[in-house]
Amino acid sequence: MGSAGKDDREEVIQAWYMDDSDEDQRLPHHRNSKEFVSLDKLAELGVLSWRLDADNYETDEELKKIRESRGYSYMDFCEVCPEKLPNYEEKIKNFFEEHLHTDEEIRYCVAGSGYFDVRDHNDAWIRVWVKKGGMIVLPAGMYHRFTLDTDNYIKAMRLFVGDPIWTPFNRPHDHLPARKEYLEALGKKEAANTAVDAAA
């Protein structure tokens, strides 16, 4: 465990608000004045995160517990790099198209690293850098996109409840029930946080 007060997930998952630059999508895209986002703030948006032992994922009891408690019965691996992914250029372009899914997107980085960009409640982009050992869950109905970083490589475990459905719904798809449910859950969390702040 890290030092007191330090969240060891931050060694494998970092997040920040993005600039509006059209430069290479694989660059960090920090704002001029860097503005980091806490993992607690990501959790408020519905993004869950863990730090796991990527060198021993086959026997990791914590991963096993997460899979059992959340019903992640399906598992496979996806390697994203020019050498391993067929139709790489087309796929990386599709991954970076803003979209949502009607189910959770669960990704556990067992090697390499990559960026998952998510929208905050004001529709601003937050870049989530996931490195080896980091696992994130993006909620159903959340607009997001993915790209590699400048290392051009990630190997990710993909988990799913039941048979996997990878269908992306490119924005706008606000009429989907998953999107409406996500926004409703977000609104409830904001209302609860406002009530807590008012009571403090």
User: pLDDT per residue over 39-66, tens digit each?
Assistant: 999 999 999 999 999 999 999 999 999 9
- Please check if 29 is assigned to a binding site: no
- Please check if 79 is assigned to a binding site: no
From 77, 114, 118, 112, select the one nearest 99 (Cα to Cα).
118
- Please check if 101 is assigned to a binding site: yes
- Please check if 99 is assigned to a binding site: yes
161 pLDDT above the threshold of 80? yes
Going by pLDDT thresholds of 50, 70 and 90, the confidence category of residue 4 is low
**What does each C-alpha distance from 12 to 97, 107, 122 come to in angstroms?**
24, 13, 26
Work out the number of other CB atoms within 10 angstroms of the CB of residue 190.
Answer: 12
Is-above-0.85 flag for pTM?
A: yes
What is the reported pLDDT for 2? 44
Give residue-wise pLDDT tens across range 57-116: 999 999 999 999 999 999 999 999 999 999 999 999 999 999 999 999 999 999 999 999
> How many angstroms separate the CA atoms of 78 and 62, rounded?
21
